[in-house]
Structure 1
Amino acid sequence: MDADPPAPATSDEPTAGRLRLTDPGRMRAMAHPLRMLIMGSLRIDGPATAAILARRLDTDSGQTSHHLRTLARHGFVIDAPELGKGLRGRERWWKAASTTTVFSDDGDDPRSLQAAAVGALDRAALQTWDSLAAAYREQVARGEWSAPWRRAAGAGDSIVRLTPGRLSALRGEIGEVIARHEEAGRAEDDDAATVVIALLAYPRRVAE
């Protein structure tokens, strides 16, 4: 007799490394620019201690340690004991519990706790992206990026008329293009670098 199939994962359980947030409490726990930067660094740059993260993110280890504890309490980061305890035997290594996080307001009530939590996440994400863009500009000013990179990098915007369905389709198509280039980027030469692509797509309404 075949074994019973495994129970399907709940919305807030990572599936194939992808964590879809629906719980307002966990959303608010993630809604902090430094916590988002910590998660990004652990996912992209690899496991780290609070001290290593402080150096990566140009902050102090007290801050990173505090936010790591919060992230751990909500299951976003986990211990990496296989990496040891550091030179002094007291350092705790951490790694991300998932490879990516997605969230959206799927409810019908714009005044719900979930909608408010999504708003907090959006605001924190905007601050995070702004800090990453500012860091790039500071690096450019110090001469750390070549002319080809300066020509390739940048920002832009477009204003188009769409229905909700077309906007969803557009975002999906953009995601597919990014995924294709991400796959190709794994085989690129030493000139390749990690690139942050932030997609913002919101309807606008003019007060009459």
Structure 2
Amino acid sequence: MVDSGKLHLTDVEMLRAMAHPLRLRILGSLRIDGPATSASLARKLATDSGQTSHHLRLLARYGFIEEATELGKGAHGRERWWKASHVSTHFPENADELGPGGEEAVAAMDRAARRVWDEAIEAYRAQLARREWSSAWRQAAGSGDGVIRTTPQRLEQLRAEVWRLINEYDMGEASGEDAEKVIVVVQAYPYRAAQ
């Protein structure tokens, strides 16, 4: 289901197709950096063009991406440009909504997403070590955690409020001289101590 540029996954097969770190990286790159060819994506993501083409075809089959025909076929008439079909993808945390196989598909998607997020953090840390970010960005970026006691309803409200704030602080295409793209990861799960 698509609403306002957001794709809501309600099908186990679509979720399984998405639950691969390289496919998530490809889709993320097309969303963040814009249209690209398999060759340019392979260079950017440090993989080979054949593997990238395979994953692009699979992403296209499930409607995550589409050909960017408006960009033409390149100087040699052979290039295929790809773009993201949606701004974001959401999937239910409650695997029961997906039916049989939903629990495994959600777990696989979760693992793949965490791996991609970890890679993004490691890339940022490597850029910090090379002094590629200003002291203002080094001071502003970071992560942390906190523990609260709440109900499922209030946690849902908290997550909605966090997303409202994220959207409020998004400058979109308007940007100042110091504006950069920022990855914001929100995670909120109930916790019980192991017995």
TM-score (norm 1): 0.87
| Structure 1 counterpart of 2:184 | 197
- Match 1:101 to one of 61, 73, 89: 89
Aligned amino acid, residue 185 of structure 2: A
1:147 has 2:135 as partner: yes
Aligned amino acid, residue 179 of structure 2: A
Aligned amino acid, residue 199 of structure 1: V
Shift of 1:109: 8.2
The structure having more radius of gyration, on CA atoms, is: 1
- Match 2:62 to one of 74, 86, 90: 74
Long gaps (5+) in structure 1 = 1-12
The verdict on how the C-alpha distance between 1:42 and 1:185 changes in structure 2, with shifts beyond 3 A counting, is closer
Aligned amino acid, residue 182 of structure 2: V
The verdict on how the C-alpha distance between 1:107 and 1:29 changes in structure 2, with shifts beyond 3 A counting, is closer
Q: SS in structure 1 opposite 2:2?
A: coil
Which whole-Å CA distance do the structure 1 matches of 2:98 and 2:194 have between them?
19
Matched residue count: 195
Residues 18-37 of structure 1 correspond to what in structure 2 (within 5 A)? 18-37=6-25
Check the 8 A contact 1:27/1:118 in 2, yes or no: yes
Percent of pairs identical after alignment? 54
| Structure 1 counterpart of 2:175 | 188
Which whole-Å CA distance do the structure 2 matches of 1:41 and 1:110 have between them?
27
Which whole-Å CA distance do the structure 2 matches of 1:16 and 1:174 have between them?
19
| Structure 2 counterpart of 1:160 | 148
Aligned amino acid, residue 50 of structure 1: S
1:15 has 2:36 as partner: no
TM-score (norm 2): 0.93
